[in-house]
Structure 1
Amino acid sequence: MPNKRTIGALLHEVAQILKARNLDLNAAEILLETRLGLKRTELWSSFDRVLEEKHELQFKADFDRYLNGEPVQYILNIAPFYGYDFYVDQNVLIPRPETEELVLLCEQFLKKNPQKTVLDVCTGSGIIAISLKKLFPELAVSASDISFQALAVAQKNSLALNAPVNFVETDLLEAFKHEKQTFDVIVANPPYIAEREKQEMSTYVLANEPELALFAENNGLAIYERLIKDLPEVLDDKFWIAVEIGYTQGEAVQALFASTFPEAKTYIHKDINQKDRIVVCSNLLNGDMN
């Protein structure tokens, strides 16, 4: 790539490469606008701007990484979620839009039913816990993960976004059981992909994202089985629980909750694509947000 080209000329050139490889045509614009600190509309209105050599060299390095199979979010160490930019690296999953629906459901519940304490299990980069703390600053928010590396990312995001969260390194609920801590609300987005589903997954995901945060045994249900069995030890008398699920797991996870909490109401919430995505269990009268 020779120097002294305009933004428009550069984007036109790399668009041909992306088309030829059947890759996301947005990738080049995302890389460029983020490094230059521009909004998309500002980038489009700057097509005649000549790039400085340092910016062109940075773009070439970024674009080569993308062509070699690295996701844009890891290249830039930024992923948007629920209106905030979160730091991400290969120690954590890239936030998915489906998880925003879990936060939205929790937000809707908390607006109608104010609570005091929330626990986010398998927090990863901290997106759920931090988003809830930003929405409800008065909430005492805790978050756990088995991965020390993931918690380091979550702590970084907590500080950057000025959202104090109590992070705990533990296997699911073990530390809270030991300390006899209880919570009003518990949310979780645990690993739930079955090993057999690997063949259906993007090579971008398999090559870059941590397997520990993706896969679970017993057709993806193993973490739910352990989590739900232990939940009664860490819940207050009145509670609201919401977990993200794979779209084929609704009835199975609902049955696990019904077995452990026969007195509570459990329902499946569908995502924007009308696929089963969240299971909610609550013994509060207003806990049903369906």
Structure 2
Amino acid sequence: MTVKKIRAQFLKLLSSQYTQDEIGVHFEMLCEAYLNFTPAQVVLNLDEALSTEKEAQFLALLKELQENEPIQYIIGAVVFADLVLEVDERVLIPRPETEELVYWLLSAYDNEAPLHVLDIGTGSGCVAIALKKARPNWKVTAWDVDLDALATAKHNAKKNSVTINFEVVDVLDAQLPNTNWDIIVSNPPYVPESEKAHTTAHVLREPEHAIFVSESSPLIFYEHIINYAAKQLNTKGSIYLEGHAPLMKTLNLLLTQARFSDIVLRNDFRTNPRFIRAHFR
């Protein structure tokens, strides 16, 4: 079977789950991972016949996609802020929106001062690793309550040659480390459980505890993070948060009540309110 015919199978059999453009991107990602083809080479080699082994491999990959396995888990990696991070079912897949949060933060600081930075709920380590890679002089600490996620994050940090202080900490605990920080950043769980019914099947293959929050307390992580930041941020320290669009105005209010200033709301590339930044005192 040729590359063109295999691609046609993908386009046909995945049409009920993805758009044609999404299927095309997934196919290109698989060709890059398993055939070493760039997107341009895929087009140039459509008439190339695959070996029996490669044909069987691509049909198996197609079956995984039909079973709603995320493409990033199939490949085992994702590119985030120009870094390659390994991902699997233990961690949330890093999103382009979170890249925007990282770039926004980096645009405000250079590498001169050895700032103390905390990433709360690090997951795969994407935010902490991207920050440390771009600002080697910073002292970056990353918290997570999930030991499996921390194992992945530590592996990704080593793979990308950065040193980060990873700690097992639950931000919902009453007693948190008495450490002062210049920057606190977090992308905590924020999607209300009521939206689970409308969430695509492949997203539901990701760790639900890293996505959804109780309908009765959708702001629980933000309340704890902001309270901690108000106690532990240095003067003129900053907090950067990613959040759920319908709740961003409420986050603004929480930050105001906690005596933060210079509060800025920012849209993501889809024009949804997604990020908020504030300075302390």
TM normalised by structure 1 equals 0.88
Residue 7 in structure 1 maps to residue 6 in structure 2: no
Deviation of 1:6 after TM superposition, in Å, equals 2.3
Contact 2:94 2:126 survives alignment (8 Å) = yes
1:162 aligns with 2:158: no
Q: Is residue 280 of structure 1 aligned with residue 249 of structure 2?
A: no
Query: Matches of residues 2-151 of structure 1 in structure 2 within 5 Å?
Result: 5-19=1-15, 22=18, 24-26=22-24, 27-111=26-110, 114=113, 116-151=115-150
Please state whether the residue corresponding to 1:249 is helix, strand or coil. Answer: helix
Selected match of 1:193 from 185, 191, 197 = 191
Contact 1:126 1:143 in 2 (8 A): yes
How far did 1:239 drift? 0.2
Q: Which runs of 4+ in 1 moved over 6 A?
A: none
Using the alignment, how far apart are the partners of 1:176 and 1:183 within structure 2?
16
Give distance in 2, aligned partners of 1:174 and 1:118: 20
* Counterpart AA for 2:122: T
Q: How far is 1:81 from its partner? A: 1.4
Q: Count the aligned residue pairs.
A: 277
Q: Which moved more, 1:57-66 or 1:110-119?
A: 110-119
Q: Is the 8 A contact 1:177 1:233 kept in 2?
A: no
Question: Contact 1:193–1:219 (CA<8 Å) still a contact in 2?
Answer: no
Counterpart of 1:212, as a letter, is H
- TM-score of the aligned structures, taking structure 2 as reference length: 0.91
Change in 2 beyond 3 A, CA 1:195/1:12? closer
Deviations 1:197-235 (A, max 9, x none): 2222212212x0111101123352111111111223332
Structure 1 counterpart SS, 2:87: coil
Corresponding residue to 1:271 among 258, 268, 271: 268
Match of 1:227 among 210, 218, 225: 225
1:167-246 mapped onto 2 (5 Å cutoff): 167-172=166-171, 177-178=176-177, 180-206=178-204, 208-217=205-214, 218-246=216-244
Task: Out of 157-166 and 41-50, give the one that drifted further.
Answer: 41-50
Aligned pair partner of 1:251 in 238, 249, 252: 249
**TM-fit CA distance, 1:173:** 7.5
Is this contact kept in 1: 2:111–2:137, CA < 8 A?
A: no
Structure 1 residue 101: deviation in Å?
1.1
Gaps of 5+ in 2: none
Question: C-alpha displacement at 1:21, in angstroms?
Answer: 5.6
Please give the per-residue CA displacement for 1:236-290, whole angstroms capped at 9, x wherever unaligned. 223011000111111111111111125x322211222322111111148xxxxxx
Give the secondary structure class of the aligned counterpart of 1:86: strand
RMSD: 2.2
1:63 is aligned with what amino acid?
L
Could you give the per-residue CA deviations for residues 2-39 of structure 1, whole angstroms, max 9, x where no partner exists? xxx22223223332223366553222332232112222
Please state whether the residue corresponding to 2:64 is helix, strand or coil.
Answer: helix
Q: Distance in 2 between matches of 1:177 and 1:21?
A: 43
Distance 1:169 1:22 in 2: 37
Larger deviation: 184-193 or 268-277?
A: 268-277
Equivalent residues of 1:176, 1:234 under 8 A apart? no
Aligned amino acid, residue 76 of structure 1 = I
Q: Which ranges in structure 1 are unaligned for 5 or more consecutive residues? A: 285-290
